Structure 1
C-alpha cells in the first residue's frame, strides 16, 4: 500500500480513501497495524482540527434520529459532518448488524456527510478500540464536526468522553424516578443532557424530565472545564427538529469558553496521554496472548486448577519472568 498516496487522497477529502484508511486502522493484522501507524504519523502534522462530539443514550431514545436531524442541520450550514457509529457485537459470533446507514437514510445521501459504522467487538466503553484513530483520519479529511455514537448508556460508556471535546447524553422523557436508571459516572461526564422526544403528548413530560435533570446536575461537583451554567439540560425533538439550533448554540458557547480559558487544548493533551497509556496496556495484553507467554500461562493455569498454586502466586511468576525483566533496561 502506498501510504503517501493514501494520505494525499485523504487530505483531498476523497471519501473512498477515508473509508479504506479506517478499515486499515481497524485491522488487527501486524502488517496492517504498521501501515496504519505510518499513515497516522504522516497525517498527524496536518494541523486540521474538527469538533469531536461524543453521544450516548439509552436504547430507544432516538440517537440515530437525532444524529440525522442534527447532522442535516449542520450540513445545511455548510459544515462537513462525519458520523462514527459503534454497533454492539455478538458475544458468540463477533458479528454486528452495522445498520446505522439504513437508519440515517437522508444523511447518508448528503454529500457533506460521511457515516461509518464499526463493530464494538469485545471492547468495553461503548466505542471500538480504533475509534480514536478513525477520528484523527476524519479530521485529516477536513470534516468540521465528528459525531461519535456509542453502543449504549452505562458507566463503561464514559470512555467516549476521553476522546471527545463535548459529551452529550441523550435521554427520553420519564418521571423523576428515571434518574435512578442513569449512572452517576456518566452524569458526571456529560457536558449537555438532551431530553429527546419533546413533541406531541410527550412534550410536557419532557419539560418536567429536563427540570429533574437540571436539578440533579446542580448537585454535582463543579468541574474546572465548565463556565457558569454548565453542564446543563435541554429539551429537543429530533422528529420535529425543534431545539436543535439552541443545542448547537450552547455547544458552540461551551467550546468557545473552553478555548479562551485554555481548557480545550489542555483536555486534548490529557486525552493524548490517556490513550498512550491505554495503548501500552493493550500492547502488554497482546504479548501475554502470544508464545512463549501463552504456553507458560497455560501450564501455570493447570497448576492453579489443581490447587498447587494460588492465582495471585501464578500471576506473580508470569510477571516476574516476562515483564519485570525489562525493568532498568533502556529503550
Structure 2
C-alpha cells in the first residue's frame, strides 16, 4: 500500500481514500498497524494540509430503539443543508460467538448516506467494552484530517456503561425516550453524569406531553448534580426533540455550538483533548502489555497459571499477582 498517496487522498477529502484509511487503522494485522501509524504521522506532520484540522466531535448514546439512527439522519441533513460536512462513525455490536456484525447503519440512514456532504462508516465493536470500537479515536482523527466539520460517533447503545465515548468526543449527547423509566435515573453516576446534553426524542404527536414531563423531570434531577468545571451556567441541560418531525434540532444545535464556544474561550476544550490523548496513550500501553503476554515468552507462564485457576488450584487474584511478580 502506498501510504503517502493514501495520506494525500485523505487530506484532499477523497471519500474512497478515507474509507481505505479507516479500514487500515481498524485492521489487526501487525504490518497494517505499522502502516496505519505511518499514515497518521504523515497527516499530523507540521506543514501538511491536514495538520491542525479540528472537527466538532459529538458522541451520541442511548438505549436501542430510542431513535439514534433517525436522529442522526435528521440532524445530519440539517447540518449539511447549512453547508457543513458531516461524518458519522456508527459502532455496531459484534456477536460474542461468531465475532461478526451486521453493519447496517447505512440502510437506516438512506437519505443521509446519499448526501455528497456526508460520510457514514459503520464499524464492529469487536467485543470492545464501553460502546465504541478500539480504533474509533483514530477513525475520528482521519475524518478530521479529511476536512469534515462535524464528526458524530454513535455508540452500540447498551445502557449506562457507555462512558468510553466521552474520552473521544468534545460533547456527549444522551438520547432518551419519553416516559422510558424511572426519571431518577438522571441522578445516578455513570452515563447520566457524562452527558452534556440530554435530548428526549419522539416529542411529537401523542407522546409530546410525556416527553415534556420527562424533560422537566431530568432538568430537575440535573440541578441536583454538582456543577462541573467545564460547564457554564445552565449545563448540562435537557431538551425535547423530534427526529421524525424534525423539531427541536435547530435549538439543540444552537446549544451545542454555545457550549463548544464557551469551552474554547475558557481553555477547557484543549485541556480536555490533552487529557483524552493521555487516556488513550495509557490504554494503548495496557492493550500492548496484554498482547505481549499473549504472544511473547511469557505466554507459557500465562497458560500455566490460567490452567491452575481453571482447575481450582489457585485463585484468580493470587495467579495474577504471581504473573505480575514474574514481569517485575
| Same structural fold, with TM-score higher than 0.5 when normalized by the shorter chain | yes
Deviates more, 1:66-75 or 1:180-189: 180-189
- CA distances 1:188-223 after superposition (whole Å, capped 9, x unpaired): 000000000010000111101000010111111110
In the superposition, the TM-score normalised over structure 1's length comes to: 0.94
| Distance in structure 1 (CA, Å) of the matches to 2:100 and 2:156 | 14
SS of the equivalent of 1:156 reads: coil
Does 2:326 correspond to 1:318? no
Out of 120, 129, 133, the position equivalent to 2:134 is: 129
> Measured at CA, do residues 222 and 141 of structure 1 come closer, stay the same or move farther in structure 2, by a change above 3 Å?
same
CA distance in 1, matches of 2:314, 2:68: 49
The yes-or-no answer on 1:12 pairing with 2:17 is: no
| Partner residue in 2 for 1:329 | none
User: 2:224 & 2:107 partners in 1: Cα distance?
Assistant: 40
Aligned-partner Cα distance in 2 for 1:262–1:123:
31
Ranges in structure 1 where 5+ consecutive residues have no aligned partner: 325-331
Cα distance in 2, alignment partners of residues 38 and 97 from structure 1: 30
Matches of 1:94 and 1:84, distance apart in 2: 19
- 8 Å Cα contact 2:187-2:225 kept in structure 1: no
Report how far residue 58 of structure 1 moved: 1.1
| Separation in 1, partners of 2:34, 2:181 | 51
Between 247-256 and 284-293, report the one with greater CA deviation.
Answer: 284-293
CA distance in 1, matches of 2:26, 2:38: 14
Structure 1: how far apart are the matches of 2:31 and 2:181?
A: 52
Cα distance change on mapping 1:182 and 1:67 into 2, 3 Å: farther
The residue aligned with 1:27 is 27
Q: Kindly indicate whether the alpha-carbon contact (under 8 Å) linking 1:155 and 1:183 is maintained by their aligned counterparts in 2.
A: no
Counterparts of 2:241 and 2:313 in 1: how far apart (Å)? 61
Distance 2:308 2:250 in 1: 63
Q: Which residue of 2 aligns with 1:91?
A: 96
Within a 5 Å distance, the mapping from 1:53-72 to structure 2 comes to: 53-72=58-77
Q: Which residue of 2 aligns with 1:201?
A: 206
Cα distance in 1 between the residues matched to 2:299 and 2:279:
27
Matched, 1:51 2:51: no
Please give the TM-score of this superposition, normalised by the length of structure 2.
0.95
Deviation string for 1:223-258 (max 9, x for gaps)? 000000000000000011000000000000000100
Which residue does the alignment assign to 2:157? 152
Backbone CA RMSD of aligned residues: 1.5
Q: Could you tell me which of 158, 161, 166 is aligned with 1:161?
A: 166
Seen in structure 2, the aligned counterparts of structure 1 residues 79 and 306 have a Cα distance that, compared at 3 Å, is closer
